């Protein structure tokens, strides 16, 4: 499937082509492509260069994959049964600078995942990030310490056919992509006031 974004201004092909499918092929992701994805995450920016992210990786229904799958809510388990790749993104809450909770650990971990997502596209791999999972169960199953927080589960692989999904999910898969207009979130002067730069 091609769901290239219809943009109001030209952007790079990876960003325009990135979207979050639910239909994946039951085909393993090559290790070198996985390494490329994590290398991109490695070089993403972070406050004070703290690099608070960690990733728990399950592949091809191995033991780690099975444990991550158990953390998903029922709705996400439905379409992830045959996904070859499941990843938990974990953020380190504690700043090494002062020992307090970092105000940006979630933001920085999210940046790392964003960089990973674009590199996945570069490798021909699609990913889908999910908030529908139990962080408590992930902490229990993987021994994640209190200093860290599971933030999202990411499924990934080669894109499949919508017909492999239930009718309800198939319809969601086929829906056109949509986004807010720039005027709704690019402001100048004061919050909520559309910036004149978007009309240049």
**Residue-wise pLDDT tens digits, 9-21:** 999 999 999 999 9
Q: Is residue 2 part of a domain?
A: no
Q: Is residue 200 part of a domain?
A: no
Q: What is the CATH number of the domain that holds 146?
A: 3.40.109.10
Q: Is residue 179 part of a domain?
A: no
Q: Is residue 199 part of a domain?
A: no
Q: Is residue 149 part of a domain?
A: yes
Question: d(Cα 116, Cα 110) in Å, to the nearest integer?
Answer: 10
Q: Is residue 103 part of a domain?
A: yes
**Residue-wise pLDDT tens digits, 123-179:** 999 999 999 999 999 999 999 999 999 999 999 999 999 999 999 999 999 999 999
**Residue-wise pLDDT tens digits, 38-72:** 999 999 999 999 999 999 999 999 999 999 999 99
Q: What is the Cα 168 distance to its own chain's centre?
A: 22
What kind and span of H or E run contains 152? strand 148-157
Give me the number of domains the chain comprises.
1
**Which are the contacts of 19, defined by CB distance < 8 A and separation ≥ 6?**
3, 5, 126, 177
Domain that holds residue 115: 13-173
CB 90 within 8 A of CB 113: no
- Res. 115: pLDDT tops 80: yes
- Res. 187: pLDDT tops 80: yes
pTM for the whole structure: 0.95
């Amino acid at each position: 499937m091609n769901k290239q974004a219809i943009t109001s201004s030209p952007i790079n092909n990876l960003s325009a082509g990135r979207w979050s499918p639910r239909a994946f092929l039951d085909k393993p992701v090559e290790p070198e492509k996985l390494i490329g994805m994590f290398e991109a995450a490695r070089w993403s920016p972070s406050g004070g260069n703290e690099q608070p992210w960690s990733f728990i990786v399950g592949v091809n229904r191995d033991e780690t994959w099975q444990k991550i799958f158990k953390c998903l809510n029922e709705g996400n388990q439905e379409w992830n049964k045959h996904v070859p790749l499941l990843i938990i993104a974990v953020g380190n809450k504690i700043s090494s600078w002062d020992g307090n909770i970092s105000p940006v650990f979630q933001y920085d971990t999210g940046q790392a995942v964003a960089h990973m997502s674009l590199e996945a596209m570069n490798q021909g791999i699609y990913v889908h990030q999910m908030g529908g999972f139990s962080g408590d169960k992930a902490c229990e199953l993987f021994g994640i310490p209190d200093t860290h927080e599971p933030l999202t589960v990411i499924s990934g692989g080669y894109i499949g056919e919508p017909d492999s999904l239930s009718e309800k999910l198939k319809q969601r898969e086929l829906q056109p992509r949509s986004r807010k207009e720039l005027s709704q979130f690019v402001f100048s002067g004061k919050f909520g006031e559309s910036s004149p730069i978007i009309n240049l």
